[in-house]
Amino acid sequence: MFGLGLAAAGTGLAKLGIGAKLASAVGMAKGLAGGAKATQLAIPGLMGAAKGAATKGGMGAVKKFAGNALANYMGPGGVTAGNIAANFAPDAVFGVMQGAMTPGDLGDKLIAGGSTAIGGALGGVGAVSALGKFGQSGGGRMLAEFGGGMLGDMVGQGAGDVVLRAKGGGTTPWEKLQQQGDQEYRQQLEREVLAAYGIGGYNQTDLLR
């Protein structure tokens, strides 16, 4: 009876044209679902392309800005050997001085001096570029050079200290030197206390030697 009922219902729907409409609706739904899946698959590719374009455009803008800043900083003639020497010689001198004063091996001196020189140079370029036309005049340029160079030196030295700590097992050459001085002071103080009480094989005469 149930089968006969389904057959009769199907015949009635066919006469009314409803069956065809249902079939058409089902087909459209499947088509929409397939399109949605295709769109979902296409979106990651589109998003990746958009991200790639944005990244390329951003890097291009950064390179362009850096190139313009350097050209403006150099002054008339742009990036030439003479302008490089004139603009960056003070930073190089401070870097050499910092490296010479830094205790440790040659690697420590190069790291300390290089980070100071590079930091000072970049600080000067950034400050002069940030001031625009005012940074190109005599007084404005001197102010930008001094302030930007000092700030760049501090940032460069901080970055150099990070590298020196990684190289030196957690301490910079200056910190190692300070630790050695502290240890020697403690040993001297210990000898004085022991000599004052005449113990430990020390006496007051030993302290005068």
Q: Where are the domains of the chain?
A: 2-59, 84-196
Tokens of residue 99, six digits: 């490296």
Tokens of residue 155, six digits: 């940032």
Contact by Cβ (8 Å): 99, 110: yes
Q: 162: which residues sit within 8 A by CB, 6+ positions away?
A: none
pLDDT of residue 38 exceeding 50 = no
Q: Where are the alpha helices (DSSP H) in the chain?
A: 2-16, 18-74, 81-101, 106-131, 138-167, 173-196, 204-207
pTM of this prediction? 0.61
Which of residues 108 and 38 earns the better pLDDT score?
A: 108
Burial (0-12, 13-18, 19+ Cβ within 10 Å), 41: exposed
* Spatial separation of the C-alpha atoms in residues 186 and 123, rounded to whole Å: 42
Own/partner long-range contacts of 86-95 (Cβ < 8 Å, ≥24 apart): 87/124, 88/117, 88/121, 90/120, 90/149, 91/116, 91/117, 91/118, 91/120, 91/121, 91/124, 91/149, 92/117, 94/120, 94/153, 95/120
Residue range 143-148: mean pLDDT, rounded:
87
pLDDT band at 133 (very low <50, low <70, confident <90, very high): confident
* Spatial separation of the C-alpha atoms in residues 42 and 22, rounded to whole Å: 30
- List the single range of 40-44, 100-104, 114-118, 167-171 with lowest mean pLDDT: 40-44
pLDDT of residue 4 exceeding 50 = no
Q: Which amino acid, residue 74?
A: M
pLDDT band at 105 (very low <50, low <70, confident <90, very high): very high
